[in-house]
Amino acid sequence: MDNYILTGKESLGIEFGSTRIKAVLIDENCNPIATGSFDWENKLENGIWTYHTDEIWSGLQAAYESLNYNTEEKFGTKIKNLSSIGFSAMMHGYLPFDKDDNLLVPFRTWRNTITAQAAKKLSELFHFNIPQRWSIAHLYQAILNGESHIDDITYFTTLAGYVHWKLSGEKVVGIGEASGMFPIDSDTCNYDADMLSKFSQLDEVKARPWNIENILPKVLVAGENAGFLTEEGAKLLDPSGLLNAGALMCPPEGDAGTGMVATNSIAVRTGNISAGTSIFSMVVLESPLKNVYEEIDIVTTPTGKNVAMVHCNNCCTDLDYWFNLFIEFSKLSGSKLSKPQIYDLLYNTALDGDSDCGGLVSFNYFSGEPVTKVESGRPLFMRSENSRFNLANFIRTQIYSTMATLKLGMEILENEQVKIDCLTGHGGLFKTPVVGQKLMAGAMNSPISVMETAGEGGAWGIALLASYMQNKKEKESLQEFLNQTIFDGQAGSKIEPVKEDVEGFEKFMKRYMAGLSIEHAAVDMFKN
């Protein structure tokens, strides 16, 4: 790529993850040619997990500036023109606006577990699981709470929808993102009309001056034109003024959808596991589930196919806090080891641990965990006097803890006889070769694949969606585009589950489930 010259035909993907905003620039053949990023972290303020709007924009600009630094370093020039752009972000959440486009309350992210009453009532009303994270649960809970801003709402959206709106002027979201706001009818590729009607008929909703259909974003599917980068949007993205307006913009998507695209998991009977700040699996369904489950979200692919999503609020955050202790010690000892080297050393140590972690158990609940009905974050590590407490078992326990709640949801799909041909892993847990992949295979009792090109993650996934919208052939489906243009001949690795790991994780899960009562007691003991 050293001799590559920017032509203006490149596509840009930017994803707002929970801890990092990442930008990926791809060429006409969808190869990543430059990247940029900006680290950020959500805050717990007044009991609400949030990001400030000024952080959203300063973080976006910093990630784009980082990308531009990389392009100038590699190609001798910054970006002036783009063919297409896509934005994605962590799904769900709540951003309501008034008629003057003012944000009415601070952004409420997916991480919040404050909508239990609304989620329960709506699930019963719809006969469809509405998780606490979903945008409609946040809206309805605000109504039930009698919040003063409710009557002033003229529009509400997600983080991806918000950024897209401000850069294009279009109030739209991709169908995968929309499916985490309100239930979707896959036949119409729009919000479920019957459920919209049921919601509108609720007495407390009828009293509002707005109609739910009019304040939701418009739903678009992959490949549809979602607007153009405006002059104002170009300056918002690149305050230097170098970037020209006019780039096509694809429908904004959630990190679930971009993960499916980045792992080529949008076909029926395929699935992926994303493991970062949160952990979730996505399995594309052949047919609807027989029952409704609190642990299972029904969302869609970016093309509108039904997906069973097992979403757990907690994954690597608590593990990272433990690993930071080792990083601190490394610095105190005068070690020259880098952070990635320390992570690799610790991850690989886990492979030397007992398959059942030697009697140790950990709960990684940095925030509440709806899957196990734990309302607040209380990270907890436990052992008995007889436990085999050594470094290898300790690290293996921390990794197992990231997978435990996911296992509970995947067991439901197994009992529903959902067929899965392959599961593809991506995200931070899989950065160290083999370790996360091997332990996940044992935990899920399923082969786990990791693809080399998925290293750029969701930012690459949304860049692919932007490129698909711009470069697709007539009547070419997204699946055809991915199979023939992106993943044809793609190298990857697959690890089969090992009997010892499967049995060891089962023993760990028995200990984990028995310890849940202690976790609940910790919530009660440490009240904020």
Would you list the DSSP string of 40-106?
Answer: ---EEETTEEE--HHHHHHHHHHHHHHHHHHHHHHHSS-----SEEEEEE-S--BEEE-TT--B-S-
- Inside any domain, residue 173: yes
Could you tell me which residue, 395 or 433, shows the higher pLDDT?
A: 395
pLDDT for 1 beyond 60:
no
Token pair 């994605």 is at which residue?
Answer: 88
Instruction: Find the CATH number of the domain harbouring 445.
Output: 3.30.420.40
pLDDT-derived band at 491, boundaries 50, 70, 90: low
Q: Are residues 340 and 284 in the same domain?
A: no
Q: State the total domains in the chain.
A: 3
Average of pLDDT values for 423-439?
90
pLDDT attached to residue 123: 96
pLDDT attached to residue 453: 58
- Inside any domain, residue 3: no
What's 143's DSSP letter?
H
- Inside any domain, residue 258: no
pLDDT for 492 beyond 80:
no
Q: Are residues 383 and 517 in the same domain?
A: yes
Nearby residues of 48 by Cβ (< 8 Å), 6 or more positions away: 106, 108, 112, 114
Could you tell me which residue, 358 or 42, shows the higher pLDDT?
A: 358
- At 29-67, the pLDDT tens digits run 999 999 999 999 989 999 999 999 999 999 999 999 999
Q: How many CB atoms lie within 10 A of CB 58?
A: 14
Q: What are phi and psi of 468, to 5 degrees?
A: -60, -45
Q: Are residues 200 and 102 in the same domain?
A: yes
Q: Are residues 110 and 26 in the same domain?
A: yes
Q: Are residues 176 and 234 in the same domain?
A: yes
pLDDT attached to residue 2: 61
Q: Are residues 451 and 394 in the same domain?
A: no
For the four alpha carbons of 364, 365, 371 and 374, in that order, the dihedral sign comes to: positive
Q: What are phi and psi of 465, to 5 degrees?
A: -65, -35
- At 223-265, the pLDDT tens digits run 999 999 999 999 999 999 999 999 999 999 999 899 899 989 9
Which domain-ending residue is among 204, 224, 253?
253
Q: Which residue range(s) make up the domain with 440?
A: 263-312+413-495
pLDDT for 162 beyond 60:
yes
- Inside any domain, residue 1: no
Q: Are residues 214 and 279 in the same domain?
A: no
Q: Facing residues of 279 across strands?
A: 275, 312
Which domain-ending residue is among 235, 253, 271?
253
Q: Are residues 115 and 200 in the same domain?
A: yes
pLDDT-derived band at 111, boundaries 50, 70, 90: confident
pLDDT for 454 beyond 60:
no
pLDDT-derived band at 216, boundaries 50, 70, 90: very high
pLDDT attached to residue 182: 98
Q: Tell me how far CA of residue 382 lies from CA of 301, 367, 387, 403, 519, in angstroms.
A: 39, 18, 10, 17, 10
3-state DSSP of 162-175: HHHHHHHCCCEEEH
pLDDT-derived band at 164, boundaries 50, 70, 90: very high
Q: How many CB atoms lie within 10 A of CB 65?
A: 18
- At 292-301, the pLDDT tens digits run 998 899 999 9
pLDDT for 163 beyond 60:
yes
- Inside any domain, residue 125: yes
pLDDT-derived band at 351, boundaries 50, 70, 90: very high
Token code pair at residue 432: 């160290």
Which domain-ending residue is among 205, 227, 253?
253
Q: Can you give the C-alpha Rg of the chain in angstroms?
A: 23
- Inside any domain, residue 500: no
pLDDT attached to residue 452: 72
Q: Are residues 488 and 516 in the same domain?
A: no
Q: Please give the share of the chain, as a percent, with pLDDT higher than 90.
A: 84
For the four alpha carbons of 9, 165, 195 and 105, in that order, the dihedral sign comes to: positive
DSSP helix/strand/coil, 372? helix
Decide: 127 and 292 in contact? Cβ < 8 Å.
yes
Token pair 């091997």 is at which residue?
Answer: 438
- Inside any domain, residue 6: no
Residue type, 136: I
pLDDT for 94 beyond 70:
yes
C-alpha 524: how far from chain center:
29
Q: Are residues 270 and 245 in the same domain?
A: no
pLDDT attached to residue 427: 82
pLDDT attached to residue 126: 97
Q: Are residues 74 and 146 in the same domain?
A: yes
Q: Are residues 442 and 382 in the same domain?
A: no
Q: CA 183, CA 185: separation in Å to the nearest integer?
A: 7
Find which of 244-253, 416-425, 431-440 is predicted with most confidence, using mean pLDDT.
Answer: 244-253
pLDDT attached to residue 455: 53
- At 59-90, the pLDDT tens digits run 999 999 999 999 999 999 999 999 999 999 99
pLDDT attached to residue 465: 97
- At 273-313, the pLDDT tens digits run 988 888 989 999 999 999 999 889 999 999 999 999 998 98
- Inside any domain, residue 355: yes
Q: Taking all residues of the chain, what is their mean pLDDT, rounded to a whole number?
A: 94
Could you tell me which residue, 351 or 487, shows the higher pLDDT?
A: 351
pLDDT attached to residue 456: 60
Q: CA 296, CA 285: separation in Å to the nearest integer?
A: 12
